[in-house]
Structure 1
């Protein structure tokens, strides 16, 4: 039955014609809605696999695979569809990090298309009257928008490692944007949560609040022809069509003078982005972070995201204990304490490597982990903010420049007003794909907070990011810190796309959204799978708890975890648990998608069964298990 559905979907998603605006208008007028396929959180089979938070995005990835594309082509196609169906998490107004396993070359590469600060950005712009600007004021503003990296990242990945061009991989997304899709409960709730700030901008209200200033109801058809137009221009002209010309000018104009709706309740700060910032944006091809854990090799994304390093350090700390020799609660205690320590180090030392000498070797050192492990009391939780360690003492080159500056920053870490840890629950999305040749992609993309900065570029249908809120703002404007705003700098991220190998063979790919909880979500899923020996679906679905070196020691936890026997045992050690989110009714942490490579060569794709409304997993050709 799944194979029959996928055959039907090929025509629906890929039969999109067109090159010019006149043809686009005709196509949009005659486009029919893309039907919502059945959703399943797990699928096993051959020929390739995909998992995303949205069934239409997963179907687009599968269709690229069925048409001969590879895992990179499929990942880009899925992310473009998510820009339409999950626009508050991902889109061409944002950026991402992609980790790719190239089967023929047996190597892992990464594509960093993180947003950058405009050249006119400097740390003083984040302060007013000597104090950091309140986060809500930065959140919805032109000042918080970084230079989008998505389109350049797509183009770099496709040209180097894909088999299809932008024109082909964007066709499913064009079809969904112009033909529309049925609004589900998750889309409706996300829109509703942001309705008041969306109303401030005439362009945003026009797209996302079309029903007399209200969200499109559940079950109704939602279309975004302006997004379809933008995708068509990028499909025709490549990245140049986005970073130069009318789209680039529209972005700059929108940030310089946000399109305020009549009667908007407050002034919104303008941005400082210029045309040259867009024109000169470059994606980066970087080496992955590599570590080991109990005989497995773990590949992650390196700086400017902190995810790969933080997960590796936490696993190195955990490697000193045997989970088989203790209760699950005792090992979860160590997981929480290891998370706390790795976050202390990540917050102080990790930033854009083109601006800061990140002590990568020291943070990955097993000896450094052994030293950090000594800070864990096996019987007692830490109920205060842990200080950072000194990874520079474990560097291959301990005389690295800026060591003194980094240690000075470590000493003053309590002076931070850390935006990315204090912020409310933020959205992102994760895509995992694999193809018949064995190539694998684990790809996290984002526009930062749910709905980005809240501003749609008029006439082009996409929201802009607010990624610059991922910079840190020390309470003292003169205090040193690795992750302060600077011209052209990429803010530190928590994104954690991860690949796991055994004896040189890939066995698992995974990642998650969730702001700084991304790190702990990926880490806990790995612990569930590698240490507690859960099935992949069980590891993804299990209740979550997150500790990110909070000053009061409180760990965020989902209700199911707080009600578990493990939580009761952890409370006996002093652990304190709080809600997963400050928003009423939002109790989820993360939304994992993953692919397991089975010993028989088949793939098992897995997505969240319930979180964020449940994700979608598909394979090219299903097999019984």
Structure 2
């Protein structure tokens, strides 16, 4: 983390760091955090230009889906760390007129040539370089078809109209924000190692862009124009597809014309549950996040958490113990439902939650080694990015998509202007061997041709009194699920406005490693009490964004009917554009 970013995080979270351990809810400071308010529409994303692109479409008469698609394509231009054409993701859509939630799965798929042991070396060990930084790490991209299909079915404008802001940003260029300049510099070694990426993300002499430089992407603009004119066929067939396949053949990748032509999105049944007086509707498998958010909320509902005090040791203890059981179940029971019978109903049942709650000692931590997937349960880059959109018609969109690592595998499609994903690392390359985010997996998430890797991405809606209340989601790899849980709990259990719910310091546990990862902002008293309970605490860097957990981009509908947007301050550049 750079000095500037450390100072930024310090000042955002410092006011919270002196809160003493309390036995009553500490919510008197909520008024320090004010969301962005709107009457007609709002777009909250991780990048200012992209939020403004979405807002431009709302003002032009587009609905939330149009604006979301515009934002998604714009992020591919202005936030190449995770915005993408060469990745995949999940979109949750709420249509007010039909009072209906749609779950759109446009996750990457394993190429036809993929095989179970493709990343094992001669000794049977996982070759992480092959699974993360080679062209063999790329799954068949789903982003373009996902965005195009969403706009085609649920938008009100034309695709060229919706894509116009992204094309303009690529063709005419934009002033490089300092956070993009810093990121390109930090990951420069990886990007410079690929000739296409070097040509796209560095100046002709190989030097780095600095803040304020105009960044134009001519090849990407041409690719976007082709998609705008031809829809999905402009990416999965024709000249762009030829360039993808040529890049694969030249560099030893697996994706073929047949893989591209056979790619398809899936419309899936959302996962839903209740917590107190709200209904939570979220993404089903191959997202693991939705199932486990519902599972954890079911467990937590059985305690009077409000009386324990927000972020008190007693509260964090119960949250963390619940997280352990959910992530243990994730390792065994979650995968692509087209290939593996995921026991969604069992995992999200109130009865199962009660059984987990009964196992949790209210005063002592249970070692992760003593917790495992329930054997009796019936079978069957951190630089991801999330954005939320709401329009004047009452529609909402929550979308999370990614390349997996920051800049994916750092390899670009020559002549087409975009980076490729390394999502194949999200499969279980070998049972019991953690992936890049420390997550364990097994048979349910083993590599198979045509299969979609398990994901933690968790775009989520919360409904109150039958009406839309919150749209949220986050990047953060394995931390996505607990980030969404933290935001929901802060808003629903402790009545925080959406900006306060976003700004509060977060904590995360994922079963293994057996540690609570905590942001700055927790009192020494709280940390000592948790340690006394037997918890292992860490504020060591979990990834390159040291001490930062997630980056939620959320919208809340206020009692007055206003749209309140919260851009997460943890990642500079996040912006709520409203009117």
1:367 partnered with 2:329: no
Q: Does 1:497 align with 2:459?
A: yes
Report how far residue 564 of structure 1 moved: 5.2
Per-residue deviation at 1:618? 2.1
Q: Distance in 1 between matches of 2:219 and 2:525?
A: 51
Give how far 1:614 is off: 4.3
TM-score, with structure 2 as normaliser: 0.89
- Work out the CA distance in 1 between the residues paired with 2:475 and 2:387: 10
Q: Which whole-Å CA distance do the structure 1 matches of 2:341 and 2:376 have between them? A: 12
Q: Superposed, which structure 2 residues align to 1:289-368 within 5 Å?
A: 289-327=271-309, 328-368=312-352
| 2:433 maps to 1:468 | no
* Counterpart-to-counterpart distance in 1, 2:546 and 2:211: 19
Paired residues of 1:195 and 1:214 also in contact (CA < 8 A): no
1:387 and 2:372 matched: yes
Gaps of 5+ in 1: 1-39, 259-269, 394-402, 407-424, 621-625
Q: What SS does structure 2 have at the residue aligned with 1:604?
A: strand
Q: Distance in 1 between matches of 2:561 and 2:220?
A: 38
**2:386 pairs with 1:430:** yes
Aligned residues: 537
- Would the aligned equivalents of 1:166 and 1:235 in 2 still touch at CA under 8 Å? yes
| Residue from 54, 58, 71 that aligns with 1:78 | 71
State how 1:114-153 maps to structure 2 within 5 Å.
114-153=107-146
Alignment of 1:381-420 (within 5 A): 381-385=365-369, 386-390=371-375, 392-393=377-378, 403=379
For 2:14, the equivalent position in structure 1 comes to none
Q: What are the ranges of 5 or more consecutive residues in structure 2 without an aligned counterpart?
A: 1-32, 434-440
Q: 2:247 aligns with which of 254, 260, 264?
A: 254
The answer to whether residue 161 in structure 2 is matched with residue 168 in structure 1 is yes
Q: CA deviation at 1:213?
A: 2.6
Task: Answer yes or no: is 1:456 the counterpart of 2:412.
Answer: yes
Map of 2:203 onto structure 1: 210
Q: Deviations over 1:186-244 (max 9, x none)?
A: 21222122211112111000111226333211222211111111101111111101001
1:555 matched residue in structure 2: 516
Q: Secondary structure at the match of 2:320?
A: helix
Aligned-partner Cα distance in 1 for 2:223–2:552: 29
Counterpart secondary structure, 1:131? coil
- Whether the aligned pair in 1 keeps the contact of 2:226 and 2:234 (CA below 8 Å) is yes
Q: CA deviation digits over 1:556-606, x for unaligned, max 9?
A: 222334x55433332221222223634566331111111111122211111
Q: Deviations over 1:510-562 (max 9, x none)?
A: 000011100011011111111222221111011111100114x112222334x
CA distance, structure 1, for counterparts of residue 205 and residue 541 of structure 2: 30
Where 2:40 maps in the other structure, the secondary structure is strand
CA distance in structure 2 between the partners assigned to 1:71 and 1:476 by the alignment: 41
Cα pair 1:144 1:465 within 8 Å, conserved: yes
Q: CA RMSD in A?
A: 1.9
Check the 8 A contact 2:152/2:159 in 1, yes or no: no
Aligned counterpart in structure 1 of residue 554 of structure 2, from 585, 594, 599: 594
Q: Is the 8 A contact 1:117 1:146 kept in 2?
A: yes
Gap change, CA 1:257 and 1:382, over 3 Å in 2: farther
Q: Distance in 2 between matches of 1:178 and 1:455?
A: 21
Match of 1:46 in 2: 39
Paired residues of 1:428 and 1:446 also in contact (CA < 8 A): yes
Residue 41 of structure 1: how far off its partner (Å): 8.1
2:502 aligned to which of 540, 543, 546: 540
Partner of 1:226: 219
Query: Is the contact made by 2:431 and 2:442 (CA closer than 8 Å) also made in structure 1?
Result: no
- Cα distance in 1 for partners of 2:60, 2:228 equals 18
- Higher deviation after alignment, 318-327 or 130-139: 130-139
**Structure 1 pair 301–564 and aligned structure 2 pair: CA distance change class (3 A):** farther
Query: Partners of 2:359 and 2:211 in 1: how far apart?
Result: 50
Tell me the secondary structure at the aligned position of residue 596 of structure 1: strand
8 A contact 2:126–2:430 mirrored in 1: no
In 2, the alpha carbon distance for the partners of 1:94 and 1:334 equals 36
CA distance in structure 2 between the partners assigned to 1:377 and 1:228 by the alignment: 57
Contact 1:42 1:616 in 2 (8 A): no
- Contact preservation (8 Å) 1:383, 1:554: no
> Contact 1:100–1:440 (CA<8 Å) still a contact in 2?
yes
Alpha-carbon shift at residue 480 of structure 1 (Å): 6.0
Q: Any idea what SS the aligned residue of 1:613 has?
A: coil
Number of the residue aligned with 1:574? 534
Seen in structure 2, the aligned counterparts of structure 1 residues 486 and 41 have a Cα distance that, compared at 3 Å, is: farther
Q: Please, what TM-score do these two structures have when normalized by structure 1? A: 0.83
State the SS of the aligned residue for 1:277. helix
User: What aligned pairs does 1:276-287 form with structure 2 within 5 A after superposition?
Assistant: 276-287=258-269
Aligned residue among 487, 492, 509 for 1:530: 492
Helix, strand or coil at the partner of 2:418: coil
Shift of 1:185: 2.5
CA distance in 2, matches of 1:349, 1:615: 34
**1:200 counterpart = 2:159:** no
CA–CA separation in structure 2 for the residues paired with 1:66 and 1:475:
50
Residue in 2 that maps onto 1:6:
none
